[in-house]
Structure 1
Amino acid sequence: MNPEPDATFVSDATFNPALDLGLERVIRAPREVVWRAWTDPDRFAKWWIPAPLQCRVDRLEARPGGALVTRMSEDGATFTPHLDGCFLLVEDRLRLVFTNGLDSDWRPAQPEPVAMTAEIRFADHPEGTDYRIRVRHGDKAARDLHEQLGFAEGWGTVAAQLAALVEAEPR
């Protein structure tokens, strides 16, 4: 059995409001359950894209260099590309970092509408899991575009869907 990783947060002085967007919330489920929802393709597909859109996970390889490829559908029949990226860092039950600036084959990409690197952090909280997202952008224009396109609403919606899924799981 793996020892429980230490997941206390320290002040994050590297957050740059000119380039980064973030979201924080407490999810009322154990960190292990939230982590599993991020790393199990079947669970991931249930919350990753805002409903009523549906998600199909083509590849989810939660390891450094592993692929993260998803598709989305409005009707459940026709799926179009959504995300083609790769994991840069995976620290068991602590942190995931992925980017769409490299595709799943590690080729440089110019994704639409914006290139980003996302960092997801998980820590214990008295009520469940302290869940933090930071999305980094290469320049202020990309950050501002992502914000205008609805970063808070989109990432907030999927965080709420993630919370609903894991909070409903039996313990």
Structure 2
Amino acid sequence: MPPEQKATDEKANEIYINRVYDAPVALVWDAWTDPEQVAQWWGPRGFTITTHSKDLRPGGHWSYTMHGPDGTDYENRTLYYEVVEHEKLVYDHGGNDDRPPLFRVTVLFFKEQGQTRMEMTFALETAEAAAEIKKMIKQANGNSTWDRLAEYVEKQQSGDEVFVINRTVEAPIDAVFAAWTDPQQLAAWLPPAGFQMEFAEADIRAGGSARNKMFGDQRPTIYACFEYLEVEPPTRIAYTQSFCDEQGSPGRHPMSPEFPATLLTSISLAAETPNRTRVTVASTPQGARTAAELQAFTSERTGMTMGWTGSFDNLEQRLAGESTAAVG
């Protein structure tokens, strides 16, 4: 079933998640079902898990503890209802011996030209319960779990460290693409909280380049240069981003000099419905990098998630405002 159709048919008491991983189904399935592998990515950023037992079959249980970054432990006991290798998992999530599960999860795995499309549906009793769980997931940064899975399978295949973040935006794909490629719009929503952005030059097209600065009160100014490799309306943008000085000469991040000097970033857009767009951002260090640079990059993924989350919040508010103005 195409993701557009599934998203359109989503029920009010369900939460739907769609992801595409650049990896074969067998690799993604093993990452889900092998306790040693799942320990490398399961849970929001900053969380770790300890598996106590796992019996992957209908009627079997997965017993594990999630360890929060603040030291809080969360005991979980998953009950499996369906297990179809490389195709389907159905289980209860969020329960343990002292509390009932939060919701029923159905995970479907689809082969698509060497990639894997993963569709997840969380089913709850009521629309109100689904709305509350959505809030809880956002507060806990729960969707970063599936970004961590993307990072894990990429490293398994290529050995590269990558940062991934997804966001579903309630806006048409053309409007979202324009927000990424119009310098005036980009400068309005992209800066993290506490920063402003100005472009000294901007030629956003394949083969084009841009240069900007981010600045804020009591914060160092950050200068960056961009080289656009791909700009394919309305689905893809790829560019390199390098730190530089005010004149455009090569530089380093002023607050993290060990951070890689250049990142290769791709932006993928997919229409889930006519008025809903899934955005996937993937970044990896470009060129030669030292062990210290890789360590700085991987250590900063939590901070990058926070920064991008704030930017996406700005983007959604901007696009919602444009939609309201258009209706008015």
Q: Does 1:168 align with 2:321?
A: yes
Runs of 4+ in 1 over 4 A off after TM superposition: 107-111, 138-141
Q: Which moved more, 1:16-25 or 1:136-145?
A: 136-145
Q: What's the counterpart of residue 231 of structure 2? A: 90
Residue 84 of structure 1 and its aligned partner are, at CA, apart by 0.9
Q: For residues 91-110 of structure 1, what are the alpha-carbon distances to aligned partners after superposition, in whole Å with 9 as ceiling and x for unaligned?
A: 1111000102598xxx9956
Give distance in 2, aligned partners of 1:110 and 1:58: 17
Q: Which runs of 5 or more structure 2 residues have no equivalent in the other structure?
A: 1-18, 24-114, 116-150, 254-258
Q: Give 2:272's aligned amino acid.
A: H
Residue 25 of structure 1 and its aligned partner are, at CA, apart by 1.2
Give distance in 1, aligned partners of 2:193 and 2:239: 22
The question of whether the paired residues in 2 share the 8 Å contact of 1:100 and 1:109 is answered with no
Q: For residues 134-159 of structure 1, what are the alpha-carbon distances to aligned partners after superposition, in whole Å with 9 as ceiling and x for unaligned?
A: 11225675444234231211122212
Residue 63 of structure 1 and its aligned partner are, at CA, apart by 1.2
Q: Give 2:310's aligned amino acid.
A: T
Counterpart among 2, 15, 19 of residue 161 in structure 2: 19
Higher relative contact order (CA 8 A, sep 6+): 1
Structure 1 residues 45 and 92: CA distance shift in structure 2, 3 A: same
Q: Scaled by the length of structure 1, what TM-score is found?
A: 0.77
Structure 1 residues 43 and 102: CA distance shift in structure 2, 3 A: same
Q: What's the counterpart of residue 180 of structure 2? A: 38
Give distance in 2, aligned partners of 1:66 and 1:87: 5
Structure 1 residues 94 and 159: CA distance shift in structure 2, 3 A: same
Q: What's the counterpart of residue 6 of structure 1? A: none
Q: What's the counterpart of residue 4 of structure 1? A: none
Q: Give 2:232's aligned amino acid.
A: E
Equivalences for residues 1-171 of structure 1 within 5 A: 11-13=21-23, 16-17=154-155, 18-75=160-217, 80-101=221-242, 109=250, 111-112=252-253, 113-114=259-260, 115-126=262-273, 128-138=276-286, 142-149=293-300, 150-170=303-323, 171=326
Give distance in 2, aligned partners of 1:169 and 1:81: 29
Q: Which has the larger radius of gyration?
A: 2
Give distance in 2, aligned partners of 1:125 and 1:144: 35
Residue 125 of structure 1 and its aligned partner are, at CA, apart by 1.0
Q: Give 2:166's aligned amino acid.
A: E
Aligned pair count reads 158
Give distance in 2, aligned partners of 1:20 and 1:164: 28
